[in-house]
Amino acid sequence: MHLEISSAMRRKRPVPSAVTSSLEKKVPTAMPYNLSDTLDGIVAAIAGIQAALLEPSKPRRSDQAQKVLMTEAKRIDGQLLTWARSIPRHWKPLTLVSGNDFLPSIPNYMDLCDGYPSCQIANIWNLWRLQRLTLVKLILGIVDLPSIDKTAWPLDEHHLNIPKDLAEYREIVQDLVDSVCRSVPFYLGNRTTPSSMADLTNPDILLLDQLPLQLEQSIYTPQDRNLNVPSDEHRRHVIAQGPWHLMSPLSRLLTILSENATIASLLRPGQRQWIQAQFLRVLTLLHLFPVDHDHAGDITADFLAKQVRKGAVFMSGP
């Protein structure tokens, strides 16, 4: 089911009705899977709006049709925020400071990184961030749709006061992108060279194996800490799978930025270049960087991100 929804988002098509029907009937299971199922349902609704905006038979929409789309988009955004507020405390990322909470030799983002109890939880958070970023892109796209008389729209809670709300969405976009960037050290540690089997036992590889005890105690209860993956098992998983887990959100993020100038314009200075560098780092770790590629910089990163998106159309994740 998750694969169907992910595929629909990537192919910019509505989720098949059989899948949405199954989501409505699905009985919540034990944590953490019920939160994943809830998020899947929200993503399916986002896919519906995305497909509606791209429907070729309706290049021009009435004011009423645009109002309906905006109302639905705002409703879904509320669901995303409710989802984030409903998560258990031990799922929340813990922001760590370079030099105090982890070694400066681990490449970081603005001297910060976020720690998570497991890769699975970090993945779900990045899925949430990329879906909310996609929804922001769609909301701003609704505003840009051809309309009979956009000035006739009432400025209620479902519609945009453009100057005021664009500043608000700038803050939302920057916060979402910052959060994705702060997850990079969790997945990669200090690794910069192509991966090998020897990495699994290489003591020179530094990861966020364990949160500092005093910080862990300040946010996690003893019951929460019992839910964490053992350190050695977590380390092996991050070394083997961390770059793979990160490739999807970074490629999705770069593709959004290359395809949507409005979203790209809302980033902090240098933010996009930092993401591009980390994406190329991921490809290097995974032996996927084309060594004979003649181009570098922005074109290389964005081109390769789009190629990854094409190849990952039937994969799970953002």
Question: What pLDDT shows up at residue 61?
Answer: 62
- In a domain, residue 34? The reply is no
- In a domain, residue 215? The reply is yes
Q: Which two tokens stand for residue 89?
A: 């405390």
Give 81-96 pLDDT, tens digit per residue: 999 999 988 889 999 9
Task: List the single range of 112-116, 182-186, 229-233, 263-267 with lowest mean pLDDT.
Answer: 229-233
Q: Give the total number of structural domains in the chain.
A: 1
Give 46-105 pLDDT, tens digit per residue: 999 999 888 766 655 667 888 888 999 999 999 999 999 999 888 899 999 998 888 899
- In a domain, residue 2? The reply is no
Asked whether 89 and 220 are in contact (CB, 8 A), the reply is yes
Query: What does pLDDT average to over the chain?
Result: 81
- In a domain, residue 38? The reply is no
Give 161-183 pLDDT, tens digit per residue: 555 677 889 999 999 999 999 99
- In a domain, residue 57? The reply is no
The pLDDT of 202-217, averaged and rounded, is 67
Task: List the single range of 8-12, 144-148, 266-270, 310-314 with lowest mean pLDDT.
Answer: 144-148
- Would you say residue 205 has pLDDT above 50? yes
Domain with 304 in it: 63-311
Is residue 9 very low, low, confident or very high in pLDDT (cuts 50, 70, 90)?
A: confident
Taking only Cα atoms into account, the Rg of the chain, rounded to an integer number of angstroms, comes to: 20
